C-alpha cells in the first residue's frame, strides 16, 4: 500500500506515479464502514482536518471551498429559480452548505450511501457539515442508483458529488444512471458532476464524457484548482437538456453569493469554461 498515513505523513500517489503529501497529526476517526474505510485526521498544516475514504483524499477544512463553491454555484447561477436540489454523494455536507446560500432553494435531498461518512463529518468537520441539520435538508442514507430510478420531473439541479469511478462510486458513472438522472430533472434542469483530473485521469474522463454526451444534448466541461487533489486541477461536467452554460446568469442572487465565497465571482465563473488544448482534444 502506497497511500495513507505512515511515518507522520499522509501520502496519496495516483496510478500516474505522483500525488500529494501532508504532514499528519492525530487520527480522530478511522473505521471500516460496509463500503469503505472512513478516516479523519488532524494536520499541522494550513489544511486543518482531513477526510479520506479508502486512503483517497476527499476534503480538508483548509481547502474544501475550492471544490464546493465550484460544484454548487456554477450550475446554480445558470438556473432562473432553483427550488429543488438533489446532491448525490457529498456526505461531508460542503455542497449542501453552498446550495443553501441560494435563497430560492426550498428543498435539498442529500442521497449518500454511507451513513458513517455523514456521522464522522458532523462530529469532526463542523465547518463543512454545518448545514446538514437545516430543516430544508432531507438526508437519505441510500444508494443513489436505486433512489433515482423512478424519479420524474422532481429536481431543478442534480449535483453528483461522488467518489472516483471505482469502489462504491462506480455505478454513478454509467449510461443508465445518467439517463435516470436526466429523467429526474424538471424543465430547464441542470446536472453537475465531478469528472476527475484532466491531467491525471485522462482515460476515465474520456469514458465518462462519451457516456454523458449520449444522454445530454448539452454537455460542457469546466475546471478549477483543488490544492489537495493530485495535479491540483479538477474538472466537472455541466449537463442539461436545454441550458447552455454562460447563457442565463442569476444577477439577482449574485451579490449575496459572491460575498459569502472565498473564490466564486462572475469573471472567475465565466473563465472556468476556457479549457487547455489537451483537454479539448480529449473531449
- What are the beta bridge partners of residue 259? none
Tell me if 282 contacts its own copies by CB under 8 A.
no
Q: Rounded CA gap, 127 and 98, in Å? A: 12
Cβ closer to its own copies: 115 or 232?
A: 232
* C-alpha dihedral, 135 to 137 to 143 to 144, nearest 10°: 150
Q: Residue 261, interface with its own copies (CB under 8 A)?
A: yes
Annotated active-site residue in 114, 143, 156, 161 = 161
Residue 63 binds its own copies, judged by CB under 8 A: yes
Closest CA to 166 of 110, 221, 208: 208
Answer yes or no whether residue 257 interacts with its own copies by CB under 8 A: no
From residue 268, give the alpha-carbon distance in Å to each of 9, 42, 62, 70. Answer: 33, 31, 20, 10
Neighbours of 168 (CB within 10 A): 20
Grid coordinates in use for 41? 485526521
Q: Which of 126, 167, 217, 276 binds its own copies (CB under 8 A)?
A: 276
Residue 273: CB minimum distance to its own copies, A: 8
| 72 interacts with its own copies by CB under 8 A | no
Is 256 among the residues known to form the active site? no
Nearest to 71 by CA among 48, 50, 49, 88: 88
Q: Among 132, 148, 226, 235, indicate the residue that binds its own copies (CB under 8 A).
A: 226
Query: Tell me, what DSSP letter sits at residue 165?
Result: S
Contact stretch for its own copies (CB under 8 A) within 43-51, 154-162, 208-216, 238-246: 43-51
Assess 43 for contact with its own copies (CB under 8 A). yes
CB of 249 to its own copies, least distance (A): 14
Residues contacting its own copies: total by CB under 8 A: 49
Cell numbers 480538508 correspond to: 60
Binding footprint of its own copies on the chain (CB under 8 A): 2, 9, 11-13, 16-23, 43-47, 63, 199-200, 223, 225-233, 258, 261-265, 267-268, 270-278, 280
Amino acid at each position: 500500500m502506497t497511500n495513507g498515513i505512515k511515518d507522520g505523513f499522509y501520502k496519496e500517489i495516483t496510478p500516474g506515479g505522483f500525488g500529494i503529501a501532508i504532514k499528519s497529526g492525530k487520527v480522530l476517526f478511522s473505521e471500516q464502514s460496509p463500503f469503505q474505510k472512513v478516516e479523519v485526521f488532524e494536520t499541522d498544516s494550513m489544511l486543518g482536518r482531513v477526510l479520506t475514504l479508502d486512503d483517497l483524499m476527499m476534503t480538508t477544512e483548509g481547502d474544501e471551498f475550492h471544490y464546493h463553491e465550484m460544484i454548487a454555484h456554477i450550475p446554480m447561477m445558470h438556473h432562473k429559480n432553483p427550488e429543488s436540489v438533489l446532491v448525490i454523494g457529498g456526505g461531508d455536507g460542503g455542497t449542501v452548505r453552498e446550495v443553501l446560500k441560494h435563497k430560492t432553494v426550498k428543498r435539498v435531498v442529500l442521497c449518500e450511501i454511507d451513513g458513517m461518512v455523514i456521522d464522522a463529518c458532523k462530529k469532526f468537520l463542523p465547518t463543512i457539515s454545518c448545514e446538514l441539520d437545516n430543516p430544508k435538508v432531507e438526508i437519505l442514507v441510500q444508494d443513489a442508483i436505486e433512489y433515482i430510478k423512478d424519479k420524474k420531473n422532481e429536481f431543478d439541479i442534480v449535483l453528483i458529488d461522488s467518489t472516483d469511478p471505482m469502489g462504491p462510486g462506480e455505478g454513478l458513472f454509467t449510461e443508465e444512471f445518467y439517463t435516470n438522472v436526466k429523467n429526474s430533472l424538471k424543465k430547464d434542469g441542470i446536472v453537475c458532476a465531478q469528472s476527475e483530473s484532466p491531467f491525471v485521469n485522462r482515460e476515465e474522463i474520456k469514458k465518462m464524457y462519451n457516456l454523458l454526451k449520449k444522454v445530454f444534448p448539452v454537455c460542457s466541461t469546466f475546471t478549477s484548482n483543488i490544492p489537495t487533489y493530485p495535479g491540483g486541477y479538477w474538472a466537472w461536467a455541466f449537463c442539461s437538456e436545454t441550458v447552455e452554460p454562460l447563457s442565463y446568469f442569476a444577477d439577482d442572487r449574485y451579490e449575496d453569493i459572491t460575498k459569502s465565497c472565498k473564490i466564486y465571482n462572475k469573471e472567475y465563473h465565466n473563465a472556468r469554461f476556457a479549457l487547455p488544448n489537451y483537454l479539448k482534444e480529449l473531449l
